[in-house]
Amino acid sequence: MSPAIPAPVPRLLASILLLLGSQALAAAPPTWPVSPSRLQLSTPYGDLHVASSEYVYESRLQVDNTDVDPQVRGILNITYAFNMPAAQAALVSINSGNNGCPISYRWIVLDKSGYTLSPEFGSCNDQIKVSAKGRQLTLQTPSPHTPDAVDVYVYDGKTVKHRTARRP
C-alpha cells in the first residue's frame, strides 16, 4: 500500500506547474500577423497594380499602366494600404530572389500631384506589423541582429528612418 500524500502537496504541485506554464507563456515571442496580399489597388489618385511577367522575378509595379520610376521589379505584393490626409499609401513587398535577403519593402504614396516612392528598406523578413498615423507610416519587424528587439522603420513621405526597439 502506498503512503498517503498530504492534502497540501497536490495544491502546491498544481501552483508550481501553473507558475511555470505562465512563465513560458510570458517568454514566448509575440505572434506576427500574416500580411495581406493583393495585386491591384484602386485609389482616387490612380490605379496601383502589379504587372505580371512570365519570368518569376520580373513583375513590375505600375501606376495607371505605367511603370513607376525608379522601377520596382521582383515578386511583388501590395500588402497594406492606408487612407491618409489628401493621399493614399501602400506598402509593397519585394522578393528579388536574393537568398541572403529575400524580402524588402517600399512605400508608395499617391496624391493629386502623382506619387512618391520610398527608398527600399527592411530587415529581410516577411513578419511585419504596419501602422499609419497622420502622414507617418511605420513598419515593425523582428530584428535579425538582436533576438529580443524589433526593427522599426518610419516613413514620413521623404525619408525612411530606422531604429531598434525592445519588444513590447
Is 14 inside a domain boundary? no
Number of domains in the chain: 1
Convert the pLDDT of each residue in 43-93 to its tens digit.
Answer: 999 999 999 988 878 999 999 999 999 999 999 999 999 999 899 999 999
Higher pLDDT, 113 or 2: 113
With beta carbons less than 8 A apart as the criterion, state whether 137 and 154 touch.
Answer: yes
How sure is the predictor about 129, in pLDDT bands with cuts at 50, 70 and 90?
very high
Return the DSSP state at 58: -
Residue 114 lies in a domain: yes
Range(s) of the domain holding residue 81 = 40-166
In a domain, 124, yes or no: yes
Q: Give domain status of residue 103, yes or no.
A: yes
Q: Which of 15-19, 59-63, 135-139 has the lowest mean pLDDT?
A: 15-19
Band of pLDDT at residue 2, cut at 50, 70 and 90:
low
Give me the chain's average pLDDT, please: 85
In this structure, is residue 6 part of a structural domain? no
Q: Record the pTM.
A: 0.79
pLDDT digits (tens, 9 = 90+) for 97-114: 888 888 999 999 999 999
Tell me the three cell numbers of residue 125: 523578413
Please give the share of the chain, as a percent, with pLDDT higher than 90: 65
Name the band, by pLDDT with cuts 50, 70 and 90, for residue 8. Answer: low
- Residue 110: inside a domain: yes
